[in-house]
Every structure is written in C-alpha cells, then in structure tokens.
Amino acid sequence: MAGNAPTDRPLKPELTGRRPAPTIRDVARVAEVSIGTVSKALNEHGRLRTETRQKILRVARELGYRPNDMAQSLHRAKSMTVGILSTDSFGRFTYPIFQALEERLADQGIAVFMCNATDDPVRERQHVEQLLGKRVDGIVVTARRSDRRPPVDVGISGLPVIYVFSQTDDPDAFCLLPDDEGGARLATEHLIRLGRRRIAHISGPERFGAVRLRRLGYRKALEAAGLVAADDYFISTRWSERAGYEAALHLLELPLPRPDAIFCGNDQLARGVLDALRERGVAVPADIAIVGFDNWDVMVEATRPRLTSVDMNLRALGHEAGDKLLAMIAGQHLVGTHHLPATLVVRESCGA
Amino acid sequence: MAGNAPTDRPLKPELTGRRPAPTIRDVARVAEVSIGTVSKALNEHGRLRTETRQKILRVARELGYRPNDMAQSLHRAKSMTVGILSTDSFGRFTYPIFQALEERLADQGIAVFMCNATDDPVRERQHVEQLLGKRVDGIVVTARRSDRRPPVDVGISGLPVIYVFSQTDDPDAFCLLPDDEGGARLATEHLIRLGRRRIAHISGPERFGAVRLRRLGYRKALEAAGLVAADDYFISTRWSERAGYEAALHLLELPLPRPDAIFCGNDQLARGVLDALRERGVAVPADIAIVGFDNWDVMVEATRPRLTSVDMNLRALGHEAGDKLLAMIAGQHLVGTHHLPATLVVRESCGA
C-alpha cells in the first residue's frame, strides 16, 4: 500500500458539472492517515485505534466516498452482479418472478442486469457475451414458455445458470418451474369435492408443455375419483377470451350431457367462457362452475362472479430462484427440474 | 506495460468445475508477444504487422478471451452500465418502456441494471447507493404515476438522471412523459368528427396527474368545437372494470339527455362501460360510441365490439429515453419536461 499521498484534486464538490468521485486516496489525505489505514478502517480488518477508525469513517462519509465495487470485484473475483436473460416480450409471467428474484439478490448486495432477447438467438448470444464480459457471477434464464429451449452457452466459464419458468434439454441444467400438473389437479379435485361430475377442460395450444401437464393433472384427478371425461369435453384452442367464448358455445351445443363444470387453462379463456354462459342464460356457478388458471388480478376480480383460479406463485418461484442461484454461486452443484407447488384461490365462480 | 510474462495457470480448459477466465496475459503468452502488443491488436490502435494482429486475434478467440469490461471501465471511467429504478410493481406500463430502452442501450454495448423500489424510500436509497457504487454512467427513473415524486439524490456525482413516465419537482430534472392531454384531445376530436355531440368522460382518481391532463384535453376539444360538457358528464372513479360498469349505469340514469359517446380514461373502465351497456341493451357504437385509453391488447381485442383506444406509444418513449440518456452521458445538458405524442388506434367501438 502506498503512503499518505496528497493529490491535486479539489475536495470541495463543484456543484456545477460533474467531478470524479472521491477516492480512497482523498479520504486518506483529509484524514491524514495512510491509504492502508483507510482500507483497514473501511474493511474492518486489522488493528486500529477506535478514534482513528471513527475519524476515517466520518471523513469518508463527509466526502461522499464509496468503495469502488468494480475495483473490489477485480480483487475478489466476484462482481456482485448477475444477469437475467428473458425471452418473454409480454412480461406478465416473468415480471413477478424477476421482482422477487431481484429483491432476494439485492438483499445480498447483488445487482441484476436485465437483458431482453425476445426469441432472437443472435441478440441472446450478444447478451450472453456481454454478461460474460461484465464478469457476472451467474445467469438466470426466463422465457415465455412454449417448449424446451436450447441451453445457454457460457463456454468454459462454468458460470452458474438457472432456468426459471423455462426449461432446456441439457440434463445438467437446473430448472425451476411452477407445478402445472399439481395445480390442475388441485382445481379439478376441488370441483369434484363440490359435487361436480361432468367436468370439461378448455385450454391453450398443445405445443405448450403447460397445456399437456395441466391436462394430465385434470385427467389424474378425474381417474382418482373414478370419473371418466368424454374426449369431447377437452378443447385445445388459442389463449384468448374470444377462443374461450367460442369454445364454451361449442360445448353447449354438443350432443352430450351439458358439463356441470369447466376448468380453464388460463384466466382469459375462463373469462370468455363466463361471457358466453351469461349471454346464453346459463347460471354460474349454479348450472356450471368455472375455475381458471394464473390468478391474474386484472381478470379474476373483473369477472362476474369473481373467478376461482390456480395461482402458480410466481413470486415464490422468484425467491427460490434467488436462493438457489446464491447457493450455486457459493459453490453448490444443482441439477434437475424442480416444481414449486401451486395453490387454488377460491372465489365465487366455483360455487364453494 | 509488462513484457511477455508467462503464468502458471493451465491453458487447457478444465471441463469439470470452474476456472478463471483467460486474461490478456494468457493471450500474450500463447501468441508469444508482449501484453502491450496484444492490447494494440485488440484495441486496434498502434502500428502492428497484419500477420501479428491476425495471430493474436486468433489466439484470443481460441482461448475464449474476453476483454474485462470492469478493468476497461476503471481505465476509461465509463462502466458501460446504467441503472433503471422502478417503483411500478405492476410493470404493465414500465415494462414496454424498459424493453425499448434496453434495446437501445444494448445496441451501444451498455448493460442495464434493473432495480425495483416499489414505493419504499429506504429500498430506493439502497439501490441508488448500490448503483453509484457500481459506477453506472446514468440512472433512469420510472414510476407508476400518481404524482410528482421527490428527485433521486445522486449526491455530488453529477450523474445523468432521466425521469421517464414519472415526474419530479426539481426544475433541473429531465422528464419524458406521454402526452395525456394531446391523447385525450385526439380521442374527443375523433368522436366529434363522427358527429357525436353529448360526449361523457369517465376517468380515474383525480389525484393522478394523468386524469387531470386527460380531462383538460377532453374539455379543450369540446370547447374548440363549440360544445359544452355538462358537469355530470364527467365521472372520476377507481381504475377498474367494475367502476366503469357502475359509472355507465349511473350515466344512463341521469335526468339529462343520454350521452351519445363516452371517452374513458383507461381501457378497463371502457370495458366495464361496454359490459353495462350490453346488459342494458344499448347498442355500441350505434347508440353510444366508446373510446378507451392505453390501447392494452388484452382489453382492446377482447371487448365486443373491439375497442378504439389512445396509445401512449410507450416503446417510443423507451427509445427516446435511451437516446437522450446516451446524449447526457456524452455530456449534453438536458432539462425540462417533454411529452411524446400519443396516437389513436381506431377499431369498431367508436363507429368510424
């Protein structure tokens, strides 16, 4: 460490215009101690008289000195940053995850780079290169889930990568997902407990893993109760209110006993179904009970009656991702796909 | 610059476990040149034989060498990072702004730290301190707008700060906002051009600056056309579908001529209005034309008829924020509040 080196830089802030941030050197000069002594005082290591330490801390505060994270990171080989790579242009699902994750990491002094790749592999590659250049300590990948995505290539860096609300084929990857199957099972079991026996299921396009898993949960719940769903009671359509509206009308016109409940693959479908039933004079929940999926406040509170819906607990997913990423950065080795439990939020549409 | 200094670190990647990233030193050793020569080749300065330059670039590529942004930033006094500070826990408005902003900055090699403060001043302060510690080159502040917020204190750093979709009282601040007044005026003028004369306005709580500005635009458009709106034709309520539904029923029961158009302060209100009118057998747009505000795809495409709505052009706002922040980082001095034009997206609900 160098000694008490005076500098020519002014100490008084020039209130107009920018000036360089004060350095450890400035603190040392004003406190009339060596840089090594300042370092000891700020990092709370080494032996130092209490008065000296307090004087240094006071001077540092008065000058507005902040330890340079970047210089520290070069020293520690940790940048205290992580990158989030998102391909969800919509943001509705990944934003709550991101918020909870950021909350967890900020508590540990880790800052989060947010990168949007929106399904453009070239842009994603640029972002990964940039994050590697910034020496991030880890990468979180989130996606608007249609299906498995190719793994993110971090080269030989061995950098921890977590896939949240997204999945990849790499068997060594660590993926955190909501429990689509379990959530659907919860919803269907709830309807069965309320005495419903002819439960239909309207969901999104079958290319979505979530659609297949939710259907599986629905089927398992029916089978466990000794019920069999007519094939025509399952409709795969687009993820929109209009599609839900049309699917409901279709169900009402089938040459089958009318369903006494409809479990919908998302809240928008459920809302379309509710609109169709109201127009046809079908009472909800008396004639047909409705349950949605996502528990999206904008939808569930606006429907009449208000919508019972499965909540994927996206914030819990974000917190878990933060905890697991911290563990991986600390050296823990995690692999495999893990599902976080969903919950059912009961309102009036199911007749509970 | 040091000479051709060999190191003990292995060059072959160890495929199991993490290893430190290759350094400029490793490149120099393998290419059998000095570190200074590597620096020349990578930074494209100084005179160098073409073969030497090509050899160095090849070695750097093979080793997976990446210039250390952090070390470079210490050198250049630019960190090539900016921070976004958001207090919008919802994300619907700020997410498109953020995406467009990030797109612009990423094109310039600048990475974006995303910080959520969600209206907690202590947390916001911690985030600002952290960003200053990371030596960001600028800060963007976004908010869920209710009203002006206190300025972000960057101390004596003189760091560029932009307020986007948010406003502060500091007269030296630079704020970018959508044009609420102009957007409302567009919507109202459009209805007048279509022959509507009794135009009501249902909007959110008056503590929102946006509510006051939209009402102003609505009034100015009416006045310019020689029309006067009855005071009872303006309703300030909550931002929700249910509130829109109730407000519409209230309007229908007034001892006044029934309005022939309703301009709504957001799309959720408009949707509630449409539901109420349908239930009362009022034809839209034949009897009453409806225009919303926000042009939120989830709403405007789901209503029947589809909703004409004002678009605040949030992505354009994000791009503009990126451009202006880059200008400020380059030394330009920008102050004042600037509004970006809104546009009207015409669908069926207005009867055009």
Burial of B227 (0-12, 13-18, 19+ CB in 10 A): middle
Amino acid A106: pLDDT: 87
Amino acid B223: pLDDT: 97
Measured CA distances, A340 to A84, A212, A278, A336, B253 (Å)? 20, 17, 35, 13, 50
Which residue in B150, B95, B129 sits closest to B296, CA to CA? B95
- Answer whether residue B58 shows pLDDT above 80: yes
SS3 letters across B144-176: CCCCCECCCCCHHHCCCEEEECCCECCCCCEEE
Using CA atoms, how far apart are residues B290 and B200, in angstroms rounded to an integer? 10
Amino acid A8: pLDDT: 39
Using CA atoms, how far apart are residues A95 and A101, in angstroms rounded to an integer? 10
Please list every residue in chain B whose beta carbon sits closer than 8 Å to the beta carbon of residue A154: none
Rounded to the nearest angstrom, the minimum Cα separation between A83 and chain B is 9
- Answer whether residue B154 shows pLDDT above 50: yes
For residue A289, the cross-strand partners are A261
Q: Which of A47, A67, A87 is the last residue of a domain?
A: A67
Contact A298 B301 (CB under 8 A): no
A158 closest CB neighbour out of B17, B102, B118? B17
Amino acid B148: pLDDT: 76
Measured CA distances, B113 to A296, B66, B73, B346 (Å)? 27, 21, 16, 37
Asked if the structure places residue B352 within a domain, the reply is no
| Cα four-point dihedral sign A201, A205, A208, A209 | positive
- B86-132 pLDDT, tens digit per residue, is 887 667 888 889 989 998 998 888 999 999 877 778 888 889 988 98
* Judgement on whether residues B113 and B145 belong to the same structural domain of the protein: yes
A111 closest CB neighbour out of B69, B118, B130? B130
Task: Please give the residue of chain A at the shortest CA–CA distance from B111.
Answer: A113
Using CA atoms, how far apart are residues B151 and B164, in angstroms rounded to an integer? 12
Asked if the structure places residue A347 within a domain, the reply is no
* Interface-testing mutation among B88, B90, B156, with chain A (most A C-beta atoms within 10 A): B156
A116 closest CB neighbour out of B102, B127, B271? B102
Confidence of residue B167 (pLDDT cuts 50, 70, 90): confident
For residue A86, the cross-strand partners are A116, A142
Q: Which residues contact A159 (CB under 8 A, 6 or more apart)?
A: A132, A136, A137, A138, A139, B18
Least confident among A156-165, B201-210, B303-312: A156-165
Amino acid A336: pLDDT: 94
Rounded to the nearest angstrom, the minimum Cα separation between A57 and chain B is 16
Q: How many domains does chain A have?
A: 3
Q: Can you spell out the DSSP letters for A255-305?
A: SSPPPSEEEESSHHHHHHHHHHHHHTT--TTTTSEEEEES--HHHHTTSSS
Q: Can you spell out the DSSP letters for B49-115?
A: -HHHHHHHHHHHHHHT----HHHHHHHHT--SEEEEEE--SS-TTHHHHHHHHHHHHHHTT-EEEEE
Both tokens of A134, joined, read 């910034």
Please list every residue in chain A whose beta carbon sits closer than 8 Å to the beta carbon of residue B116: 99, 102-103
Asked if the structure places residue A112 within a domain, the reply is yes
**Which of the pair, A182 or B256, is modelled with greater confidence?**
A182
**Which of the pair, B4 or B28, is modelled with greater confidence?**
B28
Cis upstream peptide for A160 (omega within 30°): no
Rounded to the nearest angstrom, the minimum Cα separation between B34 and chain A is 22
Residue span of the structural domain in which B58 resides: 1-67
Contact A106 B127 (CB under 8 A): yes
A71 closest CB neighbour out of B18, B74, B271? B74
Mark out the alpha helices in chain A (DSSP H runs).
24-31, 35-43, 50-63, 69-76, 94-107, 121-133, 180-193, 209-224, 241-253, 267-279, 297-300, 314-329
Question: What CATH number does residue B298 fall under?
Answer: 3.40.50.2300
CB of A265 closer than 8 Å to CB of A201: yes
Please list every residue in chain A whose beta carbon sits closer than 8 Å to the beta carbon of residue B94: none
Please list every residue in chain A whose beta carbon sits closer than 8 Å to the beta carbon of residue B67: 133
Confidence of residue B15 (pLDDT cuts 50, 70, 90): very low
Cα A315 vs. chain centroid, distance in angstroms? 6
Contact A70 B66 (CB under 8 A): no
* Interface-testing mutation among B25, B84, B95, with chain A (most A C-beta atoms within 10 A): B95
CB of A196 closer than 8 Å to CB of A261: yes
Please list every residue in chain B whose beta carbon sits closer than 8 Å to the beta carbon of residue A98: 114
Give the CB-side neighbour count of residue A281, counting CA atoms within 13 A.
Answer: 0
Amino acid A92: pLDDT: 80
Using CA atoms, how far apart are residues B74 and A152, in angstroms rounded to an integer? 29
Query: Residue B43's CB: how many other CB atoms inside 10 A?
Result: 10
* Judgement on whether residues A155 and A123 belong to the same structural domain of the protein: yes
* Judgement on whether residues B19 and B94 belong to the same structural domain of the protein: no
* Judgement on whether residues B87 and B189 belong to the same structural domain of the protein: no
Asked if the structure places residue A73 within a domain, the reply is no
Q: Which of B15, B37, B67 is the last residue of a domain?
A: B67
**Which of the pair, B13 or B71, is modelled with greater confidence?**
B71
**Which of the pair, B3 or B292, is modelled with greater confidence?**
B292
Asked if the structure places residue A350 within a domain, the reply is no
Please list every residue in chain A whose beta carbon sits closer than 8 Å to the beta carbon of residue B79: 70
Q: What is the largest CA-CA distance in chain A?
A: 92
Rounded to the nearest angstrom, the minimum Cα separation between A246 and chain B is 12
* Interface-testing mutation among A89, A98, A116, with chain B (most B C-beta atoms within 10 A): A116
Rounded to the nearest angstrom, the minimum Cα separation between B251 and chain A is 20
- Answer whether residue B9 shows pLDDT above 50: no
* Judgement on whether residues A306 and A333 belong to the same structural domain of the protein: no
Rounded to the nearest angstrom, the minimum Cα separation between B252 and chain A is 21
Rounded to the nearest angstrom, the minimum Cα separation between B66 and chain A is 6
Which residue in B311, B317, B313, B294 sits closest to B101, CA to CA? B317
- Answer whether residue B282 shows pLDDT above 80: yes
Amino acid A93: pLDDT: 85
Amino acid B67: pLDDT: 63
Contact B77 A20 (CB under 8 A): yes
CB of B299 closer than 8 Å to CB of B320: no
Model pTM score = 0.78
Contact B113 A81 (CB under 8 A): yes
* Judgement on whether residues A17 and A116 belong to the same structural domain of the protein: no
B113 closest CB neighbour out of A71, A113, A240? A113
Amino acid B177: pLDDT: 94
B156 closest CB neighbour out of A19, A96, A156? A19
Q: Can you spell out the DSSP letters for A110-159?
A: -EEEEEE-TT-HHHHHHHHHHHHHTT-S-EEEE---SS-BPPP--GGG--
Amino acid B178: pLDDT: 96
B70 closest CB neighbour out of A67, A74, A302? A74
Which residue in A120, A213, A210 sits closest to A166, CA to CA? A210
Task: Please give the residue of chain A at the shortest CA–CA distance from B109.
Answer: A130
Contact B102 A89 (CB under 8 A): no
Contact B91 A89 (CB under 8 A): no
| Cα four-point dihedral sign B103, B108, B113, B118 | negative
Using CA atoms, how far apart are residues A60 and A66, in angstroms rounded to an integer? 8
b (16+ CB within 10 A) / e for A207-227: ebebbebbbebbbbbbeeeee
Asked if the structure places residue A72 within a domain, the reply is no
Q: Can you spell out the DSSP letters for B263-330?
A: EESSHHHHHHHHHHHHHTT--TTTTSEEEEES--HHHHTTSSSPPEEEE--HHHHHHHHHHHHHHHHT
- A79-119 pLDDT, tens digit per residue, is 889 999 988 766 788 888 998 999 899 888 899 999 987 77
pLDDT tens sequence for chain A (352 residues): 333 433 434 334 333 344 566 777 788 888 888 777 887 787 666 678 888 888 888 888 888 776 655 445 444 557 889 999 988 766 788 888 998 999 899 888 899 999 987 777 888 888 998 898 888 999 999 987 666 788 888 887 789 999 999 988 888 899 999 999 999 999 999 999 999 999 999 999 999 989 999 999 999 999 999 998 889 999 999 999 999 999 999 999 999 899 999 999 999 999 999 999 999 999 999 999 999 999 999 899 999 899 999 999 999 999 999 999 999 998 899 999 999 999 999 999 999 8
Burial of A231 (0-12, 13-18, 19+ CB in 10 A): exposed
Using CA atoms, how far apart are residues A82 and A203, in angstroms rounded to an integer? 35
| Cα four-point dihedral sign A155, A156, A160, A163 | positive
Residue pairs between chains A and B whose CB atoms are closer than 8 Å: 149
- Strands in B199-203's sheet, in edge-to-edge order, are B234-236, B199-203, B261-264, B289-293, B308-311, B343-345
Least confident among A299-308, A336-345, B1-10, B154-163: B1-10
Q: Which residues contact A276 (CB under 8 A, 6 or more apart)?
A: A244, A245, A246, A248, A249, A252
Asked if the structure places residue A156 within a domain, the reply is yes
Q: How close are the terminal C-alpha atoms of chain B, in Å? A: 71
Least confident among A70-74, B53-57, B276-280: A70-74
For residue B229, the cross-strand partners are none
Give the type of residue at A283: A
* Judgement on whether residues A122 and A143 belong to the same structural domain of the protein: yes
For residue B201, the cross-strand partners are B234, B263
Contact B301 A242 (CB under 8 A): yes
Task: Please give the residue of chain B at the shortest CA–CA distance from A330.
Answer: B18
Both tokens of A182, joined, read 């379990």
Confidence of residue B155 (pLDDT cuts 50, 70, 90): confident
A158 closest CB neighbour out of B19, B70, B156? B19
* Judgement on whether residues B192 and B286 belong to the same structural domain of the protein: yes
* Judgement on whether residues A188 and A299 belong to the same structural domain of the protein: yes
CB of B164 closer than 8 Å to CB of B321: yes
Using CA atoms, how far apart are residues A224 and B316, in angstroms rounded to an integer? 53
Query: Residue A53's CB: how many other CB atoms inside 10 A?
Result: 17
Question: What CATH number does residue B11 fall under?
Answer: 1.10.260.40
* Judgement on whether residues A259 and A289 belong to the same structural domain of the protein: yes
* Judgement on whether residues B306 and B227 belong to the same structural domain of the protein: yes
* Judgement on whether residues A117 and A232 belong to the same structural domain of the protein: no
* DSSP secondary structure letter of residue B342: P
Asked if the structure places residue A220 within a domain, the reply is yes
Using CA atoms, how far apart are residues B206 and B214, in angstroms rounded to an integer? 10
Using CA atoms, how far apart are residues A346 and A290, in angstroms rounded to an integer? 11
Both tokens of B9, joined, read 């670190």
Rounded to the nearest angstrom, the minimum Cα separation between B339 and chain A is 25
A127 closest CB neighbour out of B15, B99, B106? B106
Please list every residue in chain A whose beta carbon sits closer than 8 Å to the beta carbon of residue B103: 116
